Amino acid sequence: MDRAEFAAHIDHTVLGPETLPSDAERVVDEAVAYGMNACIPPCYVPEAREQAPDLTLATVVGFPHGQHATIAKREEAATAWRDGADELDVVLNVGRLHAGEDGAVRDELTEIVAAVPIPVKVIIETALLDREEKHRACKLASDADADFVKTSTGFADGGATVEDVELMAEYLPVKASGGVGSYEEARAMLDAGADRIGASSGVAIVEGFPEE
């Protein structure tokens, strides 16, 4: 894998609650310059789409807790797609998963996936789940025809681990996100089976790629 191929696995991200329009613009510019993708808040998707028409642009749905009403998550997904998003990172409702309401979790994800013609990644928030719940969450995402599972929003204590990526990769392609801040950490996630890396440190990660 050369540097360009490696960079294409990175979703350069800014999603904090104080994210300014200028922050989203900077991340988009950096993603274009380094050959990465970008993941930004949904409110900035229309401007980002105009700024970089050819960039693979992701945004989030039901972020960061996943406890929105299903209709709100579905409409947020559809709006993001109409605004120009290429991919959606949707937060699973962890409370319902904890409660054993697997049917409700699956039905909600199925409804969201069906509402848009673009890839959907399901954020299962691994730091809040035990091993059995991680398996259930991944199975439910797969049953809902999601395209990826993702480790974390980045807002819970803990983030991506090699062990979680290996578990999740048994079900769907994995986006490893949360606490990945260096080339070495990103490489470890890819080697464990991740297909994408979500990180606010995308520039540093790509710049860490070893020179020949």
Q: What pLDDT, on the 0 to 100 scale, is given for residue 129?
A: 98
Q: Binning pLDDT at 50, 70 and 90, where does residue 149 land?
A: very high
pLDDT tens, 44-69?
999 999 999 999 999 999 999 999 99
Is 90 exceeded by the pLDDT of residue 157? no
73, 121, 134, 175: which is the annotated catalytic residue?
175
Residue 212 has pLDDT above 80, yes or no: no
Over pLDDT 90: what percentage of the chain? 97
Catalytic: 89? Answer: yes
DSSP-derived secondary structure letter, 43 = G
Cα separation values, 119 from 59, 89, 145, 173, Å: 11, 9, 10, 11
Task: Read off the tokens for 72.
Answer: 């709100």
- Number of H helices and E strands in the chain, helices first, is 10, 8
Q: What pLDDT does 201 receive?
A: 97
Amino acid at 146: A
**Is 134 tagged catalytic?**
no
DSSP state of 208: T
- DSSP H or E segment with residue 202: helix 202-207
**pLDDT for the residue 77:** 98
Annotation says 150 is catalytic:
yes
Q: How far apart are CA 186 and CA 163, in angstroms?
A: 14
What would the mean pLDDT of 32-38 be, rounded to a whole number?
98
Q: What integer pLDDT is reported at residue 20 of this predicted model?
A: 98
pLDDT of residue 128: 97
Catalytic residue among 11, 89, 147, 164: 89
Separation between Cα atoms, residue 62 and residue 69, nearest integer Å: 9
Classify each residue of 115-143 as buried b or exposed e, where b means 16 or more C-beta atoms within 10 Å of its C-beta.
bbeebbbbbbbbbbbeeebbebbbbbbbe
CB 169 within 8 A of CB 139: no
Instruction: Give the H or E element holding residue 10.
Output: strand 10-13
Calculate the average pLDDT of the chain: 97
Report field, pTM of the whole predicted structure over 0.75 = yes
The active-site residue, picked from 121, 147, 150, 164, is 150
